[in-house]
Chain A
Amino acid sequence: MTMLKTLAPYDFPSSDAVGNYQGRQLLYVNWERHRMFSRPFVLALPPETPFAEIIDKHMTDCFSYHPDWAQIDWSAVKWLNGSRPFIPDRDKSLADNGIGHKDLIRFITPGLDGIAGSGY
């Protein structure tokens, strides 16, 4: 239960409600154990965006700077949406992959632990 105490009615909208993004939604992407991109990045995309665009465009643009990117065994990668494991369908949209506003996709590449195994 809230502990907020106020002198007057207090009711303000969320700054990042989905309605503020003109038909798009926020998506965060993190490459696990590759903290060189030390923060996950955020995108605003229409829910119809095919998942392939996340990999081929946004992840490739950002992560290909890392020497591990070329080493990825794509048959072994695992994905989490938040803490829930899921298998994305490249050809389906974000919405059809069950990805909603402000979801966090965690990309796991077994065997690759960053520069000199440092997690970076």
Chain B
Amino acid sequence: MDMKVSKKLGLKERYTMMTRDLAWDTTFQPMDKVFPQVGYEGIKIHDWDQWEDPFRLTMDAYWKYQAEKERKLYAILDAFNQNNGHLSVTDARYMNVLKLFLGSTPPLELMAARGFSMVARQMVGAGPRVACMMQSVDEYRHFQTQIHSISNYNRFYNGMDEFAHQQSRMWYLADGKSFFDDAITAGPFEFMVAIGFAFEYVLTNILFVPFISGAAYNGDMAAMTVGFSAQSDEARHMTLGLECIKFMLEQDPDNLPIVQRWIDKWTWRGTRKLASVGMMMDYMLPKRIMSFKEAWEIYFEQNGSALFNDLARYGVKVPKCFAQTIEEKEHITHQSWIGFYMKPDACPFHTWIPAPDELDWLSEKYPNTFDKYYRPVLEHFDRQEKAGNRFNNKTQPMNCQVCVSTIKFNEPGDPMEMCFRETVYKGEKFHFCSDHCKEIFEDEPEKYVQTFISSHAALQGKCEPDGTDVNAHDYRPGARMHAYWRMDKRAAGDFNGSEDQKNFAQWRDQATKN
């Protein structure tokens, strides 16, 4: 009997059939009406077939591969949780890294998932559409697995349960929210430069290294495994972002100035967003991996320079903010930590003054700035705390209209002075943290006049908990922010004397002593 055996497809053929061959051009409606978003930003694309798929992964292979990773991840998470892994971390201060991370990162992974699924719909070529769809699923997975890995800690430590409520309300989370809101309300090509290139390619290591290595160094197997499980996705994300940049630049010379402006804008916005990550590295990890300054030198200055050298053949220049970030790497983490330390009532995580040996570490890592500008004030705070007079600043902060950072960065060239910039648009004043943010505003003021600034909104009476009587005689807008934020009082304040500190010490003693 003759059997007709169909030939097994090669990888490349299979990829073609499963992606590009499934796409078609519309005929009932013209293509530009079905895909209006790819045209309006001014990017000119002449031939979508020129898009080189940076990786050839079909959807069925993708599912198989990701499912395998999930199985391994959850096996490790289960083992870690069943063995009370939370008691094996370096010390209870580490939990505050998780709290800061939980509020600031998984919600942004979710926004990335939304963004990439939008772009997957908006792009014309089948190659970019499939790649964006996969990235969207990846980002959704990051969002879920990060929350799952931290959820076990939520059973033991305070301040983790309201992160979803706090994401769009809490003052210090507004910078990250604004970052993604800005990107997702741009067109598909700007979104790809913002997230696919500037964030995933240029800055992602600064986010991943401290979190994954920091978790590993501090005994958090759960977060470490989540990080590693995401890292193979990141390799794909990086190549997608880079391919998109190259594709735009190869399609038409008129695209260069547009792309360059986006690179300048988003590298700066990403840099501002990373100030709190740097603070985590220098102040919050009980066992440090490297300083933020060192990480910046390796991952941004060296790797970034190599990348931009490579892109120079397309006419792309290093981002405008490059020099300023190099000056700031010596300062921003200290400025950020002092910024959080002063608000013990307004953060759902603890702050503290580093121990003397940790201050020495900072002096050694920051020889040009730490002893001169930051150590004296930290030691002053420490003396005050020990004298029962812990710093607790109760005022509402001023924020940058673009990056929504609190105004806390120094004037370039003068670490003693605060940096202020302002402009007037339609008769109203707007304030910025830097020349870069001011320029971003002035390029598109119609967009940034809408920025949500928590302290302003509170003073307008827009941040009231349910049940507030705005007609009461003693009503003051913004007076009940803690209730509005659903702040757990046990999670606030100094680490010294906190419930987390006591419980951890007690549980660890029970686990390790007779």
Contacts and interface: CB of A to CB of B under 8 A. Distances in A.
A6 B428 contact: no
Contacts of A3: 261, 443-444
B85 interface: no
A120 interface: yes
Contacts of A6: 40
A20 B71 CA distance: 52
Interface residues of A, number: 52
A62 B397 CA distance: 12
Contact of A42 (B339, B416, B459): B459
A17 interface: yes
Contacts of B406: 38-39
B210 to A, nearest CB: 22
A87 B15 CA distance: 73
Interface stretch (B300-308, B450-458, B496-504): B450-458
Nearest to A62: B395
Interface string B186-225: 0100000000000000000000000000000000000000
A119 B338 contact: no
B407 A39 contact: yes
A90 to B, nearest CB: 21
A68 to B, nearest CB: 11
A74 interface: no
B415 to A, nearest CB: 7
A65 interface: yes
A120 B36 contact: no
Interface in A18-61: 18, 20-22, 24, 26, 28, 30, 32-33, 35-44, 58, 61
Most chain A beta-carbon neighbours within 10 Å: one of B40, B42, B431, B461 = B431
B393 interface: yes
Q: How large is the interface on B (under 10, 10 to 19, 20 to 34, 35 or more residues)?
A: 35 or more
A15 B399 CA distance: 13
Contact of A119 (B36, B417, B453): B417
B342 A2 contact: no
Contacts of A118: 372-374, 376-377, 416
Interface SS majority for chain B: mixed
A13 B187 CA distance: 21
B397 A42 contact: yes
Contact of B428 (A28, A102, A114): A102
Given A38-B335, A114-B377, A120-B377, A26 B418 contact: no
Contacts of A24: 459
Contacts of B309: none
A42 B449 contact: no
A35 B417 CA distance: 8
A16 B422 contact: no
A42 B456 contact: yes
Nearest to B415: A119
Contacts of B447: 4
Contact of A14 (B393, B410, B450): B450
Interface string A75-109: 00000001000000000000000001111101000
Given A2-B444, A42-B456, 20 more contacts: A5-B187, A12-B446, A12-B449, A14-B426, A14-B449, A22-B461, A35-B335, A35-B418, A38-B338, A38-B406, A41-B396, A41-B397, A41-B398, A43-B396, A43-B459, A44-B477, A114-B416, A115-B376, A115-B377, A118-B376
16 contacts: A4-B447, A12-B450, A15-B451, A15-B452, A21-B460, A22-B461, A30-B398, A30-B407, A35-B418, A39-B407, A40-B407, A42-B398, A44-B459, A116-B380, A118-B374, A119-B416
Complex A-B, nearest 3 residue pairs according to Cβ-Cβ distance, in ascending order: A119-B416, A41-B395, A116-B376
Interface of A: 2-7, 10-18, 20-22, 24, 26, 28, 30, 32-33, 35-44, 58, 61-62, 65, 82, 100-104, 106, 113-116, 118-120
